[in-house]
Amino acid sequence: MEGSAQVDGRPCPPGGAVVVESGATATLVAESPLRAAHFGTRAGPGLGGCTVHVFGPRGQWLSGRLEGVNATWFTDSTCATCRAAFFVVDSPDRFRGPSHSHSQDEVIYLVGGGVRMGAHRYGAGTALSVPANVRYAFDGLEGGHRFLNFRADVSYQTNAGAAPLLETAAAREGVYVGDLR
């Protein structure tokens, strides 16, 4: 979230991300004061992965045209060994999301701005946990919002009255940028 680091000798600049798969080891050395968010599961997908992925701030994919936001995907569930989805969503303007659900549990961590879900308003520093198959919607507040989004495995999003959509960057018309380290 802030600062930069070296991960096994590879640079992870500000805005980048590191994915340490189950069973992998890595050495992270902070190059400046570092503030990081850590996501994971108690039990990984059990895919036998032992890889450490290091991404620059442009991630692997950029998407968001379909939703009217900017999404930077570090992982999008297509990695054969980690299968996680981890991305950042930016909306510089007020945004109204559709009523939808996901087939996997989801963690949303607000980094900036705020959102409203029902009668509740949430600001930066708030983590929201949304269980799989629970329908919800949120409105971005005036001034926009920025959040981290994590799902531990391949997921489908279902909007009200629509067929399920595979939640990958490519399915959302993403553009591959490959900012890998």
Q: CB-based contacts of 158: which residues, under 8 Å, 6+ apart?
A: 100, 101, 102, 103, 164, 165
45 is a domain residue = yes
Domain count of the fold of the chain: 1
Name the residue range of residue 112's domain.
5-176
80 is a domain residue = yes
167 is written with which tokens? 């939640």
H or E segment and range at residue 143: strand 139-151
Please state the pTM of the whole predicted model.
0.90
Per the CB < 8 A criterion, the answer to whether 156 and 115 are in contact is no
The span from the first CA to the last CA of the chain, in angstroms, equals 17
106 is a domain residue = yes
95 is a domain residue = yes
155 is written with which tokens? 């997921």
142 is a domain residue = yes
For 115-127, how does the pLDDT look when each residue is reduced to its tens digit (9 = 90+)?
999 899 999 999 9
| Residue 92: pLDDT band with limits 50, 70, 90 | confident
Give dist(CA 143, CA 49) in Å, integer.
Answer: 40
The enclosing domain of 68 has a CATH number of 2.60.120.10
23 is a domain residue = yes
181 is a domain residue = no
Report the range of poorest mean pLDDT among 42-56, 67-81, 86-100.
Answer: 42-56
Give dist(CA 95, CA 42) in Å, integer.
Answer: 33
145 is a domain residue = yes
Per the CB < 8 A criterion, the answer to whether 27 and 7 are in contact is yes
